[in-house]
């Protein structure tokens, strides 16, 4: 069996369980371990924009073993996420109210 089949591929039921278990993704090690094996839009963009002179091994290492744990902007975003969701819901209610 391939790496994809044994490590990445999940059934619809497993996908639902991953979603259920990873609601608070930023703090969830399980979610990070699942995400680390997948190509995300962020990582795909980085690969697509890679210069020919970039060493592939370094790029792969950076994708698989990122040490980024947030900065001021991402910390602020995490802190304000629930507020932003609440405000968005209120905005949508007003937008569609008769």
Q: Greater confidence, 33 or 80?
A: 80
**Is 42 strand, coil or helix?**
helix
Give per-residue pLDDT as tens, 50-86: 888 888 888 888 877 877 778 899 889 888 988 998 9
Is 9 a residue whose pLDDT tops 80?
yes
- How many other CB atoms are there within 10 angstroms of residue 34's CB atom? 19
Separation of CA 47 from chain center: 16
Find the length of the chain. Answer: 98
Confirm if 43 and 72 have CB atoms less than 8 A apart: no
Model pLDDT, residue 48: 82
CA angle 66, 72, 75 (to 5 degrees): 75
According to the model, what pLDDT value does residue 18 have? 81
Distance CA 63, CA 43 (A): 7
Quick check: 32 pLDDT over 80?
Answer: no
């Amino acid at each position: 069996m391939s790496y994809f089949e044994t490590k990445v591929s999940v059934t619809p039921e497993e996908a639902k369980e991953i979603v259920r278990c990873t609601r608070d993704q930023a703090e969830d090690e399980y979610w990070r371990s699942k995400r680390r094996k997948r190509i995300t839009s962020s990582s795909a963009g980085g690969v697509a924009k890679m210069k020919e002179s970039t060493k592939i091994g370094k790029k792969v290492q950076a994708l698989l073993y990122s040490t980024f744990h947030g900065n001021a902007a991402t910390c602020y975003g995490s802190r304000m996420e629930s507020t932003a969701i609440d405000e968005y819901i209120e905005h949508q209610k007003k937008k569609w109210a008769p």
